[in-house]
Structure 1
Amino acid sequence: MKLLTILLLVLLAVAGIGAFELLMPFGPQSEQFVEVAPGTSTAGIAKQMESAGVVRSAWVFGALKLWETERHGRQTLKAGEYRFDHPDSLWDVYWRIEHGDVFTLTVVIPEGYNIFDVAAAVQGAGLGKADEFLAVERKHTELVKPWSPQAESVEGYLFPATYKFGRHATPLLMLSTMVAKFTVEAQRLGLKGDVNRTVTMASLAEKEVHMASERPEVVGVFENRIEQGMPLQTDPTVIYASLLRGTWTGVIHQSELKADSPYNTYVHGGLPPGPICNPGLAALQAAVHPAKTENLYFVADANGATKFAKSLKEHSDNVEAYRKAAGQR
């Protein structure tokens, strides 16, 4: 009986120690990063976590891995960078590594962001300096050569989406990821032929109107004007030309309307040489399937919608109505 009591006490003590090791929070009081390289063994991960002060015992971490494998089959611990900023249980630490809960920084690229906006978003996310990002995008135009062989920028091909990158992601990695996303979406959409023309047209529609339902009509207007030899005279291209020169002040000046930039659609006929922003799916679809229309003009109304017109007189009336409504506000 005495031996049985001792054995029971020993078992209770072991169970208590095990529960303490598994459930009692342990770890850093401030931010600590641990990088787990691909191919690192369980023992290697356990040692890293112990050395970083994330877990008490590498041995207990390894024992938990064996137990979980016995219970659920082969368990794979994921590589990546992990962030720990408060004490946590060994169980929770193990769960995070098993599920690949790696630390990332988020970059949100809305529809219509141009390359300067994207660079600013990257810098705002803490992933590097905007000017360094811009330098790399100008250098690596080979990323978009399958779509635009003569491209001097990756503008237009950084698909709008929410991206998650590790702290050490390079500008080239981020650019490649965004272009890869464009490639997937372009293939789904069935883009073919002169893709640069399609993306350029989509970028104009993206910048001109905010309502997706109006974009096919806008593209139809642009196509009509091109067919009739009329300049597009779209302000977003003038703004983009000023951005490229580094002279944009937030207001279009008369001198900018006359500037001899290939992106200035007041001076040069047809489309600009490349996209002026990164269009989303709706704008790309509009460029692929423009509306069949007789309209040649459009202008915003006081409510944010767009008024389309077939004749210059009708368009002038729409412009005057907009100015009156805006003046009454």
Structure 2
Amino acid sequence: MAKRGKSGVLRFVAVALLLLLIAGGLVLHGWYGAGPAAKPLTVQVAEGSSLAGAARALERAGAIRSARAFLRDAKLFGSKEPIHAGEYEIAPGTSAADVLLLLQSGKTLQRLVTIPEGMPSILVHEKLLATPLLTGGVQTPAEGTVLPDSYAYVRGESRAAVLARMQAAMAKELARLWAGRKPTTVVTSPQQAVILASVVEKETGVPGERPMVAAVFSNRLRQHMPLQADPTVIYPVTKGKPLGRRILKSELEADNGYNTYVRAGLPIGPIANPGRASIAAVLNPANSRALYFVADGKGGHVFADTLAQHDANVKRWYAIRHARGEM
């Protein structure tokens, strides 16, 4: 009788231990095992949110199965590191343990808006308005005040705030480049540097040609020759958007402050937002006496010191166009 009682107790203890092991295994699996997300999810953790608030947001999004279980297991198995506000991307199957680590890492979802080199401000404005998840309106920025680059933003951020970062980046970069300018530069102020760099940007097909294009325009300015840059004719017509047709004779003759065919010197303002490389080229142009350039048929240009050399280069360019059936 005593033996049967003792064996019954042992069986009870064994069953209890087994149940505890199963329960512990389930808890561990719930914490370290694959999570319920079947596809990438985004979760917004509000500024000042507690772990409990974040857990509720995670449960609503489907990133965890239970906010209550998440909080319990975080206390048992997680570190006491604080979580960070922001928008997070949860990959499919991410465990609860890894979700907590992600929130503690502060590695928020990076959304980018990219402004390419030479984009005019009217298109910067349109791009900001078309960028999803930004809020509020924004004015068209002054031409030449935006630094082309990729800028991170978060869900719900204002368009005005993103534009302010773009303009602050230009002011900072322009000051840095201006401080390192060479004596060979023809411009006498940062604003002149931006104006000339915008023309260089729009006239350069191959990035490596920027210093040579800058040299040509610098040499022409020193000799009081008109720059004769087609983009300066187009800008007053379209504000920098593609013209979509050939330039009219009346547009070539228009004296509007931008047209560099009718008068020597710089345009009255930038015609685009130039990038770092074009500003740097203007402030340190190539060592060249070239005064002319024309397309070489391969995407770049061929440069000439004299008008006779340039005329010969133009004839070769016309021959290439005739062979292509473009003329």
Shorter chain as normaliser: what TM range?
0.7 to 0.9
Taking structure 1 as the reference length, the TM-score comes to 0.80
Does the 8 A contact of 1:68 with 1:75 survive in 2? Answer: no
String of CA shifts for 1:40-98, please: whole Å, max 9, x gaps: 2222212332344432222332244435554xxx5232211245696653234334323
Alignment partner, residue 19 of structure 1: 28
- Equivalent residue of 2:239, what SS? helix
Does the 8 A contact of 1:105 with 1:125 survive in 2? Answer: no
Say whether 1:49 aligns with 2:58.
yes
Alignment partner, residue 227 of structure 1: 222
C-alpha deviation, 1:321, in angstroms: 1.3
State the alpha-carbon separation in 2 of the partners of residues 204 and 298 from structure 1.
Answer: 14
Alignment partner, residue 164 of structure 1: 152
Alignment partner, residue 7 of structure 2: none
Q: One-letter code of the match for 2:189?
A: D
Say whether 1:111 aligns with 2:117.
yes
State the alpha-carbon separation in 2 of the partners of residues 88 and 266 from structure 1.
Answer: 62
Does the 8 A contact of 1:258 with 1:266 survive in 2? Answer: yes
Alignment partner, residue 189 of structure 1: 177
Residues 14 and 181 of structure 1, relative CA distance in 2, 3 Å threshold: farther
Q: One-letter code of the match for 1:77?
A: I
C-alpha deviation, 1:112, in angstroms: 1.8
State the alpha-carbon separation in 2 of the partners of residues 217 and 246 from structure 1.
Answer: 25
State the alpha-carbon separation in 1 of the partners of residues 169 and 240 from structure 2.
Answer: 29
Does the 8 A contact of 1:50 with 1:56 survive in 2? Answer: yes
In structure 1, list runs of 5 or more residues that go unmatched.
139-152
Matches within 5 A, 1:61-76: 61-67=70-76, 69-70=78-79, 74-76=80-82
C-alpha deviation, 1:194, in angstroms: 1.5
Does the 8 A contact of 1:109 with 1:162 survive in 2? Answer: yes
State the alpha-carbon separation in 1 of the partners of residues 60 and 133 from structure 2.
Answer: 27
Does the 8 A contact of 2:178 with 2:283 survive in 1? Answer: no
Residues 245 and 117 of structure 1, relative CA distance in 2, 3 Å threshold: closer
Residues 256 and 67 of structure 1, relative CA distance in 2, 3 Å threshold: farther
C-alpha deviation, 1:328, in angstroms: 0.7
Residues 43 and 158 of structure 1, relative CA distance in 2, 3 Å threshold: same
String of CA shifts for 1:92-151, please: whole Å, max 9, x gaps: 43343233343443322222222233344445543569xx86x5134xxxxxxxxxxxxx
- Equivalent residue of 2:312, what SS? helix
Amino-acid identity (%): 36
State the alpha-carbon separation in 2 of the partners of residues 41 and 175 from structure 1.
Answer: 31
Q: 1:309 aligned to 288, 301, 304, which one?
A: 304
Alignment partner, residue 137 of structure 1: 140
Does the 8 A contact of 1:136 with 1:171 survive in 2? Answer: no
Alignment partner, residue 142 of structure 1: none
C-alpha deviation, 1:324, in angstroms: 0.8
Does the 8 A contact of 2:134 with 2:155 survive in 1? Answer: no
Q: 2:286 aligned to 291, 300, 304, which one?
A: 291
Larger Rg: 2
Number of residue-to-residue matches in the alignment: 307
Alignment partner, residue 96 of structure 1: 102
String of CA shifts for 1:128-186, please: whole Å, max 9, x gaps: 69xx86x5134xxxxxxxxxxxxxx1x22322222232232322122122223334433
In structure 2, list runs of 5 or more residues that go unmatched.
1-9, 182-187
- Equivalent residue of 2:140, what SS? helix
Does the 8 A contact of 1:37 with 1:80 survive in 2? Answer: yes
Alignment partner, residue 145 of structure 1: none
State the alpha-carbon separation in 2 of the partners of residues 237 and 115 from structure 1.
Answer: 15
- Equivalent residue of 1:137, what SS? coil
State the alpha-carbon separation in 2 of the partners of residues 52 and 311 from structure 1.
Answer: 69
Q: One-letter code of the match for 1:160?
A: P
Say whether 1:257 aligns with 2:266.
no
Alignment partner, residue 233 of structure 2: 238
Taking structure 2 as the reference length, the TM-score comes to 0.80
- Equivalent residue of 1:177, what SS? helix
C-alpha deviation, 1:188, in angstroms: 4.4
Q: One-letter code of the match for 2:308?
A: K
